[in-house]
Amino acid sequence: MDLAPLIRNVPDFPKAGIQFKDITTLLQYPDAFRHIIDGWKARYANQRINAIVGMEARGFIFGGALAYAMGVPFVPVRKKGKLPARTIAATYDLEYGTDTLEIHADALRKGDRVVIIDDLLATGGTVAAMARLVSQLGAEIVEAAFVIELPPLKGREKLAGIPVHTLVEFMVE
């Protein structure tokens, strides 16, 4: 299934120069949503996956559906200050300044085999920080999967050693 035409491009959002890839239009097509989730479910079915780790907020949509389909726990990663219980944190660099992500300290166990899910891989900074959180809890990253990849931003280079799986590429900066 060709997902590219279902993803809306919004120029200059949230700021000038960014080509925002909007997946809300894709979500209007249940067959496309099911195609994504069923494809990932089949891909990870025999990989002894213990949990799906999803990034706020669009990673919750895809990651939550995948965890439900696979019958495994869903573990949220959120921006600093949103998770209520004890957390561990990872800080990463943005174009201007830094951002901090958190995961509940008891959300994964040592040796758990997890798949990380987000909607889009750009520079890889977000998923690299998620990977540090998962590793700090002693879990193993089987793969990081995304609906969309922006290859010119070279996210894969920041993720040395982590297998990456994406479904549709856009050649925008």
**Neighbour-count burial of 71, counting CB atoms closer than 10 A to its CB (0-12 exposed, 13-18 middle, 19+ buried):** exposed
Q: Between β-strands 140-149 and 113-121, what pairing exists: parallel, antiparallel or unpaired? A: parallel
Contact between 25 and ligand AMP per CB under 6 A: no
Contact between 21 and ligand AMP by CB under 6 A: the answer reads yes
Query: Least distance (Å) from ligand AMP to the CB of residue 142?
Result: 19
**Catalytic status, residue 143:** no
How many residues bind to ligand AMP according to rule CB under 6 A?
16
CB of 24 to ligand AMP, least distance (A): 11
Contacts of ligand AMP in 30-89 (CB under 6 A): 55, 58
| Catalytic site residue from 48, 86, 95, 173 | 95
Task: Please tell me the distance from the alpha carbon of residue 29 to that of residue 37, in angstroms, as a whole number.
Answer: 13
- Output 45 or 57, the one with its CB closest to ligand AMP: 57
Residue 109 annotated among the catalytic residues of the structure: no
The yes or no reply on residue 155 touching ligand AMP (CB under 6 A) is yes
- Specify whether the CB–CB gap between 20 and 13 falls below 8 A: yes
Determine the Cα–Cα distance for residues 143 and 156; give it in Å rounded to an integer.
12
Radius of gyration of the chain, Cα coordinates, nearest whole angstrom = 15
The active-site residue, picked from 58, 102, 143, 149, is 58
Query: Is residue 100 near ligand AMP by the rule CB under 6 A?
Result: no
The DSSP line for 55-80 is ETTHHHHHHHHHHHHHT--EEEEEET
Is there binding between residue 149 and ligand AMP (CB under 6 A)?
Answer: no
Binding site for ligand AMP (CB under 6 A): 18-21, 55, 58, 118-126, 155
